[in-house]
Structure 1
């Protein structure tokens, strides 16, 4: 290890010299511009994190959980010369209450770890389809999407280190003296959302809602031709509006459907129903009959997970387990999609992500699909897309741009395609809800009220006058 600079030397006395690294920055799967970093600091406790934040000259600090924000910059800060505050060693599940439905978790707690603790219980965690090694808290703070809903809705309370080192808890927090209902809004102004997609403080723990585990669950699969995307989306919208489905329905395009056994050249839909055994059986009958009546769908089935001889059986089981709160701990589908284990992604894969929100409307979804095809034709970069139905009115489009990281021209084309996606989609009113590190300036471009942007700056300057924490991707 090279000789530490004075601020890093002070941090080494807090966390131990073996937990302060002065190495060059690590690669990221998006191949975004490499940022210079002053070092990496890895506290093991909340008290150490507080001391690090309060150390004069330590900043600007960029906090990460497990650093697996793939496609958006991974562990990278938006600016140069930051110190990475790696919170991965804070990996305790401090408390779990199965009756009230909550757990207090630290940033290094992965969805695999938490789901293992809940295995066989009446409660489950809202998992994503990403690797089991990804952080529950880090993803929730960036408004990532689980299979039940956006994870930001799972946040009941946050423990935050402010830029001066003070520790505060906002939202709902368990009281050792008396049990209180889990109600994140509290009395008066709610401060919880102030620290989501924010650089107002360093989050060291969260109270996470645990969901009731359904008694029965089935995922209905169906395929459709690309040229009826608008009509298929409207059919799905009707089922969502009438309360027939649960969780997050998904529409996979011809590329993203392949790891799930989709029919070549067709789109694939996953629709989850759950509840009692009787209600699930009834809903399966209703939706399959509705799907057949439209004349849009083919291959309508809900039995792959229950038929061991079916060629898609293993994947179908993993899909249903995901909706039931159990991540794919062996990363079977993840590795089928990426071709690599999670530890290899940042070094071996080229992937940039774009995450716009689309109105849940067939015509609007078809327009977004057309914009993607136009960008692909212009740049030669094929975008792979999955649509997540977040609620009755909004769909999240997860657009992945894969490229060969060793091909300079291919990397440049993918980044050009990403720029065009930001331009074309926002011009159509399809605003991204998460940003990558190279497009952090788009937050101000997209804010509709300059006074609100100014208010955010005033809050940042009030809480962090010395710039202890990096401004981040969102302000």
Structure 2
């Protein structure tokens, strides 16, 4: 939260990773001119800037910069959908600023163009779309990097740069249409780059399909996880399941559903607080007894969806239990089971599960939710906090997320080893394997801990370090880095990072923009 101190805005960098830079100066920008003025001021005063969109980059450092003393540049006031009047099913592109949240765009499309949707993430409704995309976040339908083109950037020199055909001017019919432009594609430099401050970008919107269902596959035998992943990879390559399929372990399933199950049992079934945990455990064991369960979406015409489900069953039906759900089936199931909740334990467990699943089901259909964050707040005894205040809670959350090759056997070895490393520190590892591209997947792995316990914080941070060192020993790396690990992942002897530094002299010669973030913090030794 930002606060005023002697006329100067200050912002706490305390966050769920347990690593922060204390209170920092915070400047706010509400327009491109404001951003340019802040860059000019930073150059005059010899200050460094750390731009954040909404600052809700939980598990990666939130608004904490890699270098102490950096001024946080808050861009949440830049929250315009610039071409709102031009968006239509025939023109499915939104020009958004960094402060535009998932909630804002969803609400706008629901009211103004309900035939369109967008690629949402499972994080809070109040997270920035552009901020997540620029850090290469993964949505439910694919990598968000692929959703964005035509950037508008204020460089460290204070110059305004537009990439692709936006350089022709906003009135050009190509500005918001053709994603590649002419000549070198500079867009990529600003994804996990620190050469400038992105002030707007074009976001691809998606037509709502005639039919959309969620396909869940529960792996019956944990020893077949490698075969399971290979089957899902095949379905991805064939285009049968073209979005991202999420394969979560039981710890992840529990973390995602326990809050919703418990609230249903408490409110609808009158279960006493003293009995709630045990009752919720029994309900979850009834509906989700398997160690690994996948969730992905299938969309298209009714015939396409039917054919896709048949192919999923052909490839994986022998080793996994297949369940197909949509809003109508969930609603019908709840109408049937809810009245039986006090007569039949199986009905109660399944009604509770439906209550927990409903918000998650909407993600594949472009409906963002706070469910994941609400579960964390519930777990740490602060369900009354709004989701956007997670950094103010007692929840500790650290991500260690490797990119992995699309080879089931190799992935199983890495996941098993990571779980063993975590267990050595007394931690359970929460894992989701995301089938992201046709050639690779990413693991979203995290630790949870009590941030109010200094020993627990130190232990979790040591565990995270050991997990990263294990990954590096395998020739692997994380696909997104936390603020506290930037100095470790960036090697000044590596020609890649030395080249990345050399580009700073082109865009940001004074090293003003996010020094040390996905780049060297200072010039390498000659």
TM above 0.5: yes
Map 1:14-413; keep pairs closer than 5 Å.
20-22=8-10, 25-32=12-19, 34-36=20-22, 38-55=24-41, 56-57=44-45, 59-96=47-84, 97-98=87-88, 99-119=90-110, 121-173=114-166, 175-180=169-174, 182-224=177-219, 225-258=221-254, 259-260=256-257, 263-292=288-317, 294=318, 296-298=319-321, 300-303=322-325, 305=327, 306-308=329-331, 309-310=333-334, 311=351, 312-328=353-369, 331-339=370-378, 340=383, 341-348=386-393, 349-413=395-459
Partner deviation per Cα, 1:55-87 (whole Å, 9 max, x = no partner): 111620100000011001000100101110001
Which residue matches 2:267? Answer: none
Retained in 2: the 8 A contact 1:217–1:320? no
Tell me how far 1:289 sits from its aligned partner.
Answer: 4.2
Tell me how far 1:202 sits from its aligned partner.
Answer: 0.9
Tell me how far 1:417 sits from its aligned partner.
Answer: 1.0
Tell me how far 1:321 sits from its aligned partner.
Answer: 2.4
Retained in 2: the 8 A contact 1:221–1:302? yes
Cα distance in 1 for partners of 2:80, 2:13 equals 26
Cα distance in 2 for partners of 1:26, 1:333 equals 22
Tell me how far 1:419 sits from its aligned partner.
Answer: 0.5
Query: Aligned to 2:475, what secondary structure does the other structure show?
Result: coil
Tell me how far 1:337 sits from its aligned partner.
Answer: 4.7
Tell me how far 1:254 sits from its aligned partner.
Answer: 0.7
Decide whether aligned partners of structure 1 residues 257 and 54 sit closer, same or farther in structure 2, where only a CA change above 3 A counts. same
Which residues of structure 1 form unaligned runs of 5+? 4-16
Cα distance in 1 for partners of 2:372, 2:18 equals 24
Decide whether aligned partners of structure 1 residues 61 and 37 sit closer, same or farther in structure 2, where only a CA change above 3 A counts. farther
Structure 2 length-normalised TM: 0.81
Query: Aligned to 1:193, what secondary structure does the other structure show?
Result: helix
Cα distance in 2 for partners of 1:338, 1:362 equals 34
Cα distance in 2 for partners of 1:209, 1:58 equals 38
Query: Aligned to 2:252, what secondary structure does the other structure show?
Result: coil
Which residues of structure 2 form unaligned runs of 5+? 258-283, 335-350, 520-526
Retained in 1: the 8 A contact 2:13–2:22? no
Retained in 1: the 8 A contact 2:30–2:77? yes
Decide whether aligned partners of structure 1 residues 37 and 191 sit closer, same or farther in structure 2, where only a CA change above 3 A counts. farther
Tell me how far 1:176 sits from its aligned partner.
Answer: 4.8
Query: Aligned to 1:147, what secondary structure does the other structure show?
Result: coil
Tell me how far 1:100 sits from its aligned partner.
Answer: 2.7
Partner deviation per Cα, 1:236-272 (whole Å, 9 max, x = no partner): 1222222211210010101111235661352111131
Partner deviation per Cα, 1:435-454 (whole Å, 9 max, x = no partner): 11111023324x9x833322
Cα distance in 2 for partners of 1:2, 1:68 equals 23
Which residue matches 2:341? Answer: none
Q: Which has the higher helix share?
A: 2
Residue 514 of structure 2 corresponds to residue 470 of structure 1: yes
Cα distance in 1 for partners of 2:80, 2:510 equals 31
Tell me how far 1:391 sits from its aligned partner.
Answer: 1.1
Retained in 2: the 8 A contact 1:435–1:473? no
Cα distance in 1 for partners of 2:133, 2:312 equals 31
Cα distance in 2 for partners of 1:384, 1:39 equals 35
Query: Aligned to 1:189, what secondary structure does the other structure show?
Result: coil
* Cα RMSD (Å): 2.1
